[in-house]
Structure 1
Amino acid sequence: MSGICGGPPELPIACRAPVRAMYPMSCPASWAIGPSGIYGLQIGEEYGGAGESDYRYRMVVCEEIARVHTLSFGLTVALQDDLVLHYLLDLTTDEQKRRWLPGFARGETIGALAMTEPGTGSDLRGIRTSARPDGDDWILNGQKTFISSGIMADLVIVAARTDPDAGSRGFSLMVVERDMPGFTRGRKLDKIGLPGQDTAELYFEEVRVPAANLLGSPGEGLPQLMSHLPRERLGVTATAIATSRAIFDLTRDYCFDRRAFGKPIGDLQHIRFELAEMATELDIAEAYVDRSVRAYNAGELTAVDAAKGKWFVSELQKRVIDRCLQLHGGYGYMTEYPVARAFVDTRIQTIYGGTTEIMKEIIGRDLAG
């Protein structure tokens, strides 16, 4: 079995990773849930998956992970199912599927998507990582940063410039596998949240990538990336609404258990108004998410509608968790309380997968025609 962790663990408990743990606890947890069948739900049965394309099943997984407050592990699952997997389902040959999908279905193979580079951010056309043809192979050179699961990934889908003169048609996607000569991992980046989920710098120096690891045809990379962004953003939206609801439910119970001035603080009008506002906002947001899921299932989720959900629900999550922390008082600032961990763990969701500002720009361009 491949993987940085060296084999299945005896006691895989993702939720007990220390707040500043360096070890990627999500990796052994991935192996633990593999036999449960919740990884790679859309993978066909012939490759060991459930063959279930209805995104509502993915939502159930997301909600249950949120309820046990294991957000680092939840992100690893989301990266697998909402990000990497769909490139492998949609863009691979039958031979590539046979190589890669069974490991994904079992939770043994961890994947990553390497787009972002130092200085490029959301500007995909600014990618400088390059690959030149050499016989039947490609020689890859460059650097990527902020790559989720970069340390423990067994395979990395890399966006590279393969024709410097072809403009937007000059990019390609190729799969770099663990232990390919010239592929090295930099440091595990020290984030303020999600300590059990690694984010890394990746380096490629004269990496020889077989032509058999190219996804699709040369020059199709940018359209491939753009076409898969709605699913990625739906995944962020689903995680945001599930986490917001879980923390709200926890806070509501806390407010009616915590006593001050001789009665539960939930009996105070101000507290009830705070809870009422959050409950209303969450119900409305859930209605939009449900509509987006139905649209995705029907093959009708547009980039604009995915952008609307991504920015609105992730920003709502930020507000809701901040208010929930306030209602916990000093306890909300203590890391043994889930609301404190969620406060830092969820902050990234208005940034990755496309910032709030980029989402609004996508929507604004559509409105302007």
Structure 2
Amino acid sequence: MRRAEFVREVDRWSKPDGPFDAALLTAYDDAESFPGAACAVLDRWGLPAYYVPAQYGGRLARFDEMHALLRKVASEDVTVAVAHGKTFLGAASVWVSGDDGAAAQLARHVMAGEAVAWGLTEPDRGSDLLAGELTATRDASGWCLSGRKWPVNNATRGRFVCVLARTDPGGGARGFSVFLVDKQAASSGSVRHLPKMPTHGIRGADISGVEFRDTHVPADALIGTVGGGLELVLKALQLTRMACAALSLGAGDHALRLARRFLSERRLHGRPFSDLPHARGVAGRAVARLLLAEAVSYAAARAAHEVPEELSVVSAITKALVPTLIQGQLRLVGELLGARGFLTGVEGYGGFAKIERDHQVVSIFDGSTWVNRSALASSLPILRPGRRPATAAGRPVHEWLRQDADLTPVDPLRLGVMARGNTVLNSLDDSVARLAADPRGGADHLATRLLDAFGEVGGDIARLRPVAGPVPTATMRLAERYEWCFAGAAALALWGANPKHHDRHVWREALWLRGCLALVLEGLGAPAPEATGVFDELGRLLLSDEGTHVSLFGTSSEVSA
């Protein structure tokens, strides 16, 4: 199994003097230098093939598998994962365009190790894509590009850049198109690289820019249709936002390793620090946040195969919630580590500050938390519970969330820009009923409380009224509550889909499920009295032999999320 092989290889590369040696990567970070050696071994192993859909000759047949590989890289170093994984983000617009010729050609370059950047943002434009001023105008044999894209990951190192350009001077939703630019094919002097941008985290990544100076590109550089660029980007973002969740999960894995080691080594007044209930409880909360983030990411990756029509909502929830969960987890681990979380020269712990710095950028990639939550908030009236049946007429959720399920091949043509259902959340009633038939550990009581809370959220959505202008703060808060409900529904559906795991590892007595539901209820403002005990149990599990790698499906070599 190649996933298990990859885990073993990354572990081997992480030993002293290897390309993933923590000391080496820290030195790159201090010097703000690109981690070229680590990216090179990933190329040689063949990771770029997992960024290319199988229909174009790559190995990307399941998003959960690609996410698991990228998560493993991020668990060693987020900067390397960002630097290497950006190629998938850059190429995604081509994969979802339905342009088989362009996709097949780009696939060959990606699998040969050529990096692809994604030129969306421009100076002083923030996340407002409709404000972009880089233009593409027709010329005798193609198009002429003029303008800047900045800041862009891999803008300098990437041979290719997917560019969103204004093709109608008036702009608007149909005024932009996507072009795949091969910088090597551009005439001399027509492409200029903008300097690397100093960053707080991911200091070694190539966060720079590119300027096009009347750069000619051939007619076949156009991806999709003229004026279809914004729609194409919005669909690609649905896939890339879920890939970003893998970066967060990897950072969370690394942080838990440090927390486990610290709790195992640290002594206070002659007693193990882990004897303190507060320390165990904080550690348990950190575990629960990682597992809930994993459940959401797992459901989203499977939804890309089974209900792609709903991915505009599912990906927005995932991108808003998962980095937030892990950022909170990092704060908890930092609380445990104390000074060791800030001192860079402490053997074994000095890397924590780097993890925390690197991860902060994940919440900004491909739309910030605010941007994604705002998109969700705008969709809430359409998603009102009971308004319409679930989008999918296919298999029920508990079938395609089974770990060993055969998934429907991804069909990019089924992606849309406005989901009209949420199959995972609509399965909540069924999941609660299934749990009632097997009420392990008292999780059924927590699930019932979640169902009641979701009813309140649905009532508040039903009372929403259209408002012109920016989304009101109250609606944004309602969107956040909706995210928590989705997370709880994903966890419950995942539990019900995998009964063969119920007596294994973190699944026993529904431990992980109880921890996740306790977090969800807190997020909904209805904390469960039993939460303290659940988090203590999870803290004890982290310190046990089974705590060496905490994940829903066992060790990192077995994980299928």
What TM-score do you get using the length of structure 2 for normalisation?
0.60
Cα distance between partner residues in 1 of 2:194 and 2:355: 27
Pick aligned residue for 1:86 from 67, 84, 92 = 92
- After TM superposition, the structure 1 = structure 2 runs for residues 252-267 of structure 1, keeping only pairs within 5 Å, are 252-267=260-275
Q: 1:12 to 1:127 in 2, by over 3 A?
A: farther
The equivalent of 2:523 in structure 1 is: none
Q: Does 1:307 align with 2:307?
A: no
Cα distance between partner residues in 1 of 2:291 and 2:231: 35
3-state DSSP class of the match of 2:47? coil
3-state DSSP class of the match of 2:198? coil
- What is the CA-CA distance between 1:62 and the residue it aligns to? 2.2
- Unpaired runs of 5+ residues, structure 1, are 1-10
The equivalent of 1:287 in structure 2 is: 295
Q: 1:362 to 1:45 in 2, by over 3 A?
A: closer
Cα distance between partner residues in 1 of 2:229 and 2:171: 12
| Higher radius of gyration, 1 or 2 | 2
The equivalent of 2:370 in structure 1 is: 357
Pick aligned residue for 1:320 from 314, 324, 329 = 329
CA contact (8 A) 2:49 2:110 kept: yes
Q: Does 1:112 align with 2:112?
A: no
- What is the CA-CA distance between 1:246 and the residue it aligns to? 2.8
Identity of aligned residues (%): 24
CA contact (8 A) 2:256 2:333 kept: yes
CA contact (8 A) 2:96 2:235 kept: no
Cα distance between partner residues in 2 of 1:324 and 1:358: 27
Counterpart of 1:258, as a letter, is R
CA contact (8 A) 2:289 2:326 kept: no
The equivalent of 1:71 in structure 2 is: 78
Cα distance between partner residues in 1 of 2:138 and 2:197: 32
3-state DSSP class of the match of 2:30? coil
Counterpart of 2:109, as a letter, is G
- What is the CA-CA distance between 1:64 and the residue it aligns to? 1.7
Q: Deviations over 1:202-260 (max 9, x none)?
A: 21111111112111221111110111111111111222123213312321222122223
3-state DSSP class of the match of 2:210? strand
3-state DSSP class of the match of 1:202? strand
Cα distance between partner residues in 1 of 2:344 and 2:332: 16
Q: 1:357 to 1:265 in 2, by over 3 A?
A: same
CA RMSD of aligned residues (A): 2.1
Q: Deviations over 1:172-215 (max 9, x none)?
A: 11122224231111110000111221101221111111112111
Cα distance between partner residues in 1 of 2:285 and 2:358: 23
CA contact (8 A) 1:174 1:213 kept: yes
Cα distance between partner residues in 1 of 2:209 and 2:367: 19
Q: Which segment is superposed worse, 11-20 or 182-191?
A: 11-20
Counterpart of 2:174, as a letter, is R
Counterpart of 2:298, as a letter, is D
Pick aligned residue for 1:216 from 224, 232, 238 = 224
Counterpart of 2:134, as a letter, is T
Q: Does 1:130 align with 2:135?
A: yes
Q: 1:241 to 1:363 in 2, by over 3 A?
A: same
Q: Does 1:248 align with 2:256?
A: yes
- After TM superposition, the structure 1 = structure 2 runs for residues 164-179 of structure 1, keeping only pairs within 5 Å, are 164-165=169-170, 167-179=172-184
The equivalent of 1:5 in structure 2 is: none
3-state DSSP class of the match of 1:168? coil
CA contact (8 A) 2:78 2:247 kept: no
Q: Does 1:121 align with 2:155?
A: no
- What is the CA-CA distance between 1:147 and the residue it aligns to? 0.2
Q: Which segment is superposed worse, 299-308 or 354-363?
A: 299-308
- What is the CA-CA distance between 1:74 and the residue it aligns to? 0.6
- What is the CA-CA distance between 1:133 and the residue it aligns to? 0.6
- After TM superposition, the structure 1 = structure 2 runs for residues 51-62 of structure 1, keeping only pairs within 5 Å, are 52-62=60-70
Q: Does 1:197 align with 2:183?
A: no
| Paired residues, number | 354
| Larger fraction in helix | 2
3-state DSSP class of the match of 1:353? coil
Q: Does 1:101 align with 2:107?
A: yes
CA contact (8 A) 1:12 1:32 kept: no
Q: Does 1:348 align with 2:354?
A: no
Cα distance between partner residues in 2 of 1:247 and 1:147: 27
Q: Deviations over 1:68-118 (max 9, x none)?
A: 2x111111232122x1232233337444345321221132x0010001011
Counterpart of 1:210, as a letter, is P
Q: 1:71 to 1:194 in 2, by over 3 A?
A: same
Cα distance between partner residues in 1 of 2:116 and 2:55: 20
Q: Does 1:34 align with 2:43?
A: yes
The equivalent of 1:4 in structure 2 is: none
CA contact (8 A) 1:159 1:172 kept: yes
CA contact (8 A) 1:88 1:101 kept: no
Counterpart of 1:313, as a letter, is V
- What is the CA-CA distance between 1:46 and the residue it aligns to? 8.2
Counterpart of 1:74, as a letter, is A
